Homo-oligomer: A and B are copies of this chain.
Amino acid sequence: MRKILAITAFLLSTTAAIAEPGLPEKLDASISPTEMGQWMKFLTNEPSQVSSPFNKTIADWTLAKFKSFGWDAHIEKYDVLYPTPISESVELISAKKVFKATLNEPWTKETPKPKDKWLPAYVAYQGDGDVTAPLVYVNYGMKDDYEALARMGISVKGKIVIARYGQGWRGLKPRLAQEHGAIGCLIYSDPRDDGYSVDSVYPKGPARPAGGFQRGSVQDITISSGDPLTPGFVAGPSKPRLTRETAPNILKIPTLPISYGDAKVLLASLNGQVVPPNWRGGLPITYRVGPSTATVHLAVKSDWSLKTVYDVIAKIDGSTYPDQWVIRGNHHDGWVFGATDPQAGHIAVLAEAKAIGELVKSGWKPKRTIIYTSWDGEEPGLLGSTEWAEDHADELKAKTVLYINSDTNARGFLEAAGSQDFSAFVGAAAASVTDPETKVSVDARLRAKLRLGEGRDKEEAKLAAKAAADPKAVVPIEALGTGSDYTGFLQHLGIPALDLGYGGEAIWGGIYHSIYDSYDHHARFVDPGFVYDALLAKTAGRMVLAAADSDLPLQRPKAFADSVALYVKQVKHLANEKREAAEHQAGLLKDGVFALTADPTKPSAPPRALAPVPEIDFAPLDAASDKLTVSAKAYEAALDKAGASLSQAKREKLFGVMLTIDQTLAPEDGLPGRPWYKHLIYAPGRQTGYGVKTLPAVREGIEEENWAETKTYIPVTARALLAYATRLDAATALLSEP
């Protein structure tokens, strides 16, 4: 109870105001883990992928639920390209015999026995084809792996590659294989990464059994999300569609996922060099790169007709500001039963909707309009959310205060990411909910974790650890790449967005997108008692209430300015590192160091020569980052000074100034080579897939040795930051008016 008051007080003093203290307690009282578990049980009883019978059942059921909770709800449909498999085959053909891969997962009694057939091994938007060629093992199939292969003297041209899942997004693996001339691609899950090495396998334990594999999408989401035939516009009659052949984010080569039970046979057939140590997986074989003397026959044929996705949209109109929208969403389509992904998040959305509905029934009215959404077609390419965002683009850009997304959920720590000017807002909500395992606030537990200083980027982790140790400091949330339904809002429309979920303790990587992502698995291994699913509802629900009712803007831009300053430092450091590496390597190449150190029994070649790094003028970016820091500080100081005593009229005016400030970061022109992505601060990496690249045009220009691009986008990115800072200055001026 005290903690709830604390959040209310915190929001009031630093970020936003909730009209009625006591509201979060009422919200919590309506959220029932038991009921959420029952919903999940129903929602995971049949396969729910796009175009499956149960997919439509879920949409209708969700619609009915929203209505029964008192919401004004309807379904919006889009006809989109979504391929489904007609036939598929993977065979290893040697002189002696033919080995046929099992492309279906063995059923176990712990998962439902569905009426409908579940999807076999398949990745959506692969290229179809019927190819036979020797096999090459490419490790994770990432850029570095191909550089290593080149050094080993191995080309994948005309070959079929086998890559293991992990380290980069699934879709990059066939894309890079295709770019390197491969004619087919297999992706398997190595037991070292998510099978028996990690834990006992399902159903005994949570990890991947030998017959399990990971479905997914290989649509090139780094170019755009949504229907691949309608990038940037809604899938409808307004504008002609592209074709499968002209759509830039559909693959050309056949690709299938396989199990490690089958992969073992294929990998064991490989000849050639032993792989480098970090390429070795957990199968009891000697991993070799190949090529194999036996050939692999890979055939995939799909039905490429349009299918319908069903978005469920529910609304409660705002009493004071009906044209300011707070949007909350989670998808409802799974690859098979989809317990942890997506129903764990979906039942949180439902629980929130029910709880908010009850608040309304009890007489409360949100000041702003609240929109709850249940997206379809997230799995193949964020289809439902993207088409909806494109469909309503202008209205959304004019009205949306914040989009709050969730997807998977598991026990552990709060994993919040998104628009970093909302970091304080997230921290306030996290401070107001209690972690079921440790009984401290979610914020306190997260701060404890950050203090351990673990993280991808060392300096980023260090700064986070420092902020986490000071209870008064705001901890910047992480930046977002892609991988869930926020992308259409955040990166295409520039609308501020948050992605929420708990995780970090349970093991579910091995059942992700497999038939074993079942109610049983979720209830036994991922979130026993559904307490973290309920916690997600409480956390997101608080944010929705605060965003709907706050008199003051939700943004606190200092954490964003700090993050930008760090990113600018990183890209400058990256350029220097690359320069030094290129100079060092040039010396080594000149002196034949690679030839002299090579083992003559193993074919090897010197590495690709790194391009020399020219002088790059980062001054515009430095200046913009400095200006942003100053403006953010001034704004927060002015807000803290004036905030509580501000007149209602001024609050409204201020809110109006800040409502669309985040969109200044996503000007119309977008990113080089992928204009669908507008946001100049956050984007999925071209070479990381889901993983974020901050200051993407500048950073990727350096990474990919495209100096012209870097030089062009330094001022472009700086201008966006300056536009944000200028808008802040306007807000500060407003606050400072007498």
Q: Quick one: closest B residue to A438, CB to CB?
A: B596
Determine if A596 and B444 form an interchain contact, defined as CB atoms under 8 angstroms apart.
Answer: yes
Which chain A residues (383-432) contact chain B, with CB distance < 8 Å?
412-413
Residues of B within 8 A of A413 (CB): 597
Determine if B440 and A596 form an interchain contact, defined as CB atoms under 8 angstroms apart.
Answer: yes
Determine if A593 and B287 form an interchain contact, defined as CB atoms under 8 angstroms apart.
Answer: no
Residues of B within 8 A of A197 (CB): 280, 286-287
Cα distance, A197 to B451, chains bound together (Å): 37
- Interface-side segment among A91-99, A230-238, A584-592, A621-629: A584-592
Number of copies: 2
Determine if B588 and A451 form an interchain contact, defined as CB atoms under 8 angstroms apart.
Answer: yes
Q: Check A196 for interface membership: any CB of B closer than 8 A.
A: yes
Cα distance, A440 to B413, chains bound together (Å): 57
In the complex, what's the smallest C-beta–C-beta distance from A507 to chain B, in angstroms? 9
Given contacts A282-B280, A284-B282, A284-B284, contact A596 B205 (CB under 8 A): no
Q: Check A738 for interface membership: any CB of B closer than 8 A.
A: no
Flag A501-541 by CB within 8 Å of B: 1 or 0 each.
Answer: 00001000000000000000000000000000000000000
Of the listed residues A284, A440, A448, A451, the one surrounded by the most CB atoms of chain B closer than 10 A to its CB is A284
Q: Is the interface of A mostly helix, strand, loop or mixed?
A: loop
Contact of A448 among B282, B596, B600 (CB under 8 A): B596
Given contacts A205-B286, A284-B282, contact A593 B448 (CB under 8 A): yes
Determine if B286 and A595 form an interchain contact, defined as CB atoms under 8 angstroms apart.
Answer: no
Residues of B within 8 A of A642 (CB): none
Residues of B within 8 A of A130 (CB): none
Cα distance, A241 to B633, chains bound together (Å): 78
Determine if A284 and B452 form an interchain contact, defined as CB atoms under 8 angstroms apart.
Answer: no
Q: Check A283 for interface membership: any CB of B closer than 8 A.
A: yes
Residues of B within 8 A of A600 (CB): 437-438
Contact of A274 among B198, B284, B444 (CB under 8 A): B198
Given contacts A274-B198, A274-B199, contact A593 B280 (CB under 8 A): no
Which chain A residues (445-473) contact chain B, with CB distance < 8 Å?
445, 448-449, 451-452, 469
In the complex, what's the smallest C-beta–C-beta distance from A47 to chain B, in angstroms? 29
Determine if B445 and A597 form an interchain contact, defined as CB atoms under 8 angstroms apart.
Answer: yes
Cα distance, A390 to B448, chains bound together (Å): 57
Cα distance, A201 to B286, chains bound together (Å): 9
Q: Quick one: closest B residue to A210, CB to CB?
A: B284
Determine if A280 and B452 form an interchain contact, defined as CB atoms under 8 angstroms apart.
Answer: no
Q: Check A191 for interface membership: any CB of B closer than 8 A.
A: yes
Interface size, chain A (Cβ < 8 Å)? 42
Determine if B437 and A196 form an interchain contact, defined as CB atoms under 8 angstroms apart.
Answer: no
Flag A251-291 by CB within 8 Å of B: 1 or 0 each.
Answer: 00000000000000000000000100000101111110000
Given contacts A282-B280, A600-B437, contact A448 B196 (CB under 8 A): no
Cα distance, A600 to B445, chains bound together (Å): 13
Determine if B596 and A469 form an interchain contact, defined as CB atoms under 8 angstroms apart.
Answer: no
Cα distance, A438 to B595, chains bound together (Å): 8
Given contacts A198-B274, A286-B205, contact A448 B192 (CB under 8 A): no
Cα distance, A199 to B273, chains bound together (Å): 9
Q: Check A737 for interface membership: any CB of B closer than 8 A.
A: no
Cα distance, A94 to B286, chains bound together (Å): 32
Determine if B200 and A286 form an interchain contact, defined as CB atoms under 8 angstroms apart.
Answer: yes
Determine if B597 and A449 form an interchain contact, defined as CB atoms under 8 angstroms apart.
Answer: yes
Of the listed residues A196, A283, A438, A597, the one surrounded by the most CB atoms of chain B closer than 10 A to its CB is A597
Determine if A448 and B283 form an interchain contact, defined as CB atoms under 8 angstroms apart.
Answer: no
Q: Quick one: closest B residue to A600, CB to CB?
A: B437
Residues of B within 8 A of A283 (CB): 284
Q: Check A615 for interface membership: any CB of B closer than 8 A.
A: no
Contact of A588 among B274, B282, B452, B596 (CB under 8 A): B452
Determine if B452 and A285 form an interchain contact, defined as CB atoms under 8 angstroms apart.
Answer: no
Cα distance, A591 to B452, chains bound together (Å): 12
Which chain A residues (308-322) contact chain B, with CB distance < 8 Å?
none
Residues of B within 8 A of A593 (CB): 448, 451-452
Cα distance, A507 to B592, chains bound together (Å): 25
Of the listed residues A198, A445, A596, the one surrounded by the most CB atoms of chain B closer than 10 A to its CB is A596
Residues of B within 8 A of A599 (CB): 412, 437, 505
Cα distance, A192 to B445, chains bound together (Å): 36
In the complex, what's the smallest C-beta–C-beta distance from A313 to chain B, in angstroms? 38
Contact of A282 among B207, B282, B591 (CB under 8 A): B282
Which chain A residues (169-211) contact chain B, with CB distance < 8 Å?
191-192, 196-201, 205, 207
Contact of A469 among B207, B280, B445, B587 (CB under 8 A): B587
Residues of B within 8 A of A412 (CB): 599
Residues of B within 8 A of A595 (CB): 438
In the complex, what's the smallest C-beta–C-beta distance from A276 to chain B, in angstroms? 11
In the complex, what's the smallest C-beta–C-beta distance from A551 to chain B, in angstroms? 34
Residues of B within 8 A of A601 (CB): 505
Determine if B591 and A448 form an interchain contact, defined as CB atoms under 8 angstroms apart.
Answer: yes
Cα distance, A505 to B599, chains bound together (Å): 6
- Not counting A191-B284, A437-B600, A448-B597, a sample of 18 additional A-B residue pairs whose C-beta atoms are within 8 angstroms of each other reads A192-B280, A196-B285, A198-B274, A198-B286, A199-B286, A200-B286, A201-B286, A283-B284, A438-B595, A438-B600, A448-B592, A448-B593, A448-B596, A451-B588, A451-B593, A452-B588, A469-B587, A505-B599
In the assembled complex, 23 residue pairs joining A and B whose CB atoms fall closer than 8 Å, in A order, are A192-B280, A196-B284, A197-B286, A197-B287, A198-B274, A199-B274, A199-B286, A282-B284, A283-B284, A412-B599, A413-B597, A437-B599, A438-B595, A440-B596, A445-B597, A448-B592, A448-B593, A451-B587, A451-B588, A451-B591, A451-B593, A452-B593, A505-B599
